[in-house]
Amino acid sequence: MSDNVLEKEISVSDVILEVKRIRNDFPILSERFSSETGTVKSLVYFDNAATTQKPRAVLDALQNYYQHQNANVHRAIHKLGERATFAYENSRKKVAQFINSRSTREIVFTRGTTEAINLVAHSWGRKFIKPGDEILLSEMEHHSNLIPWQLLAKDRGALLRFIPFSKSNGTLQMANLNHFITEKTRLISVTHMSNVFGTINPVRGLIQKAHERGIPVLLDAAQAVPHLPTDVQELDCDFLAFSGHKMCGPTGIGVLYAKEKFLEDMDPYQGGGEMISSVWLDKATWNELPHKFEAGTPNIAGAIGLGAAVDYLSDIGMEKITLYEQKLTTYALSRMQEITEMKIFGLAPFRGGVISFYMGKIHPHDMAQYLDSEGIAVRAGHHCAQPVMRKLGILATTRASFYFYNTYEEIDFFIEIVKKAREFFGYGTQ
């Protein structure tokens, strides 16, 4: 598969018809809000890059666990404990299949993408990064894929280097990649899909080039796994991190995928119950993978809910989701071009459903608040990417981000309200 996961020819007629049914699976999408004028508005949820809504299948799985399976896992021999353990580990199997991991031993449950990256920085980085070594990132990273490496570099005396992005279209400048990958590079950690620009980065080529030099690669896939078919064996990445709440699952649950050979060489991230094999007063040995990295009572309900979310997405089909979102985003971009005062950041040829924009004298927070008054939920701010904003010469953007339950009609309403905001804040009519 090429880096453009959107090249496959898939008919979207069935997907478009399914959206009406799909929306009925999400109770919150039926919420109504009263605007400042007293008009009752339907919720238009365009903040999916931050977190996604949950279908009944996930909500039911959470309720079922607490009503019928609630017990600690891996510890009890009573039937309730066995039932909880089976459900928890079955979710791990579902996740492994969803991203095509070789084994469940390569799937570590975490609190989210942030903890997964921190786990690698702590357990792998502090063991293998030496003074003078280099870690290669990109300039478009979320803080979660920047701060852990800053801390590691400071602790180990290493150097961070960055692949720059183009201000004109929000793509990584990969032409001079050999300039950034040096004999001192020990790890490359980049975002698969930008949470600011929506850019889908050409990670397959980057991974191949890194592996030719024996350099492992971590992918921040928080924005990619929920929206793109993901095959870790085909990607051949060494580490991959993502979050459940961005893919219809609960908050507080995430995944670190890592090749087994790396996990075997890594020391535990935290100490406590479950991650041990044997303990003496002065020493301990570690549990088998992946439990070696899951100290204490885990987020059992969250993992089970994530398994339900994986089932739900798989039943729809990730390739269908990808193509539908691509067409939805293309439509949104075409409609947004009607607004001459609007500047869109990120015009990559291969992109996901994230659109960051700026409306001149309308502060992004004011735009978001105006949209909220009409029932449209978007994000405004620096999106945990302050270096990106600094390079763009701005403090914040307004960001609309889509998922497979959004519709063309919602985009039309969004454009209508943005135009009203333009008039409200003094731009007048075109």
Q: How far apart are CA 19 and CA 41, in angstroms?
A: 20
Q: How far apart are CA 45 and CA 28, in angstroms?
A: 10
Strands 343-345 and 354-358: antiparallel
Q: How far apart are CA 290 and CA 102, in angstroms?
A: 13
**Coil, helix or strand at residue 307:** helix
Is residue 384 part of the annotated active site? The answer reads: yes
Task: Dump the DSSP string for 233-292.
Answer: HHHT-SEEEEESGGGTS-TT-EEEEE-HHHHHHSPPSS-SSSSEEEE-SS-EEEPSTTGG
**Rg (the chain; Cα; Å):** 22
Q: How far apart are CA 18 and CA 361, in angstroms?
A: 40
* Amino acid (1-letter code) at residue 124: W
Which residues, 6+ apart, have CB-to-CB distance to 290 below 8 Å?
92, 104, 105, 106, 107, 108, 109, 263
Which is the catalytic residue, given 147, 295, 384, 394?
Answer: 384
The sheet carrying 354-358 orders its strands as 343-345, 354-358, 397-401, 379-381
Catalytic residues: 384
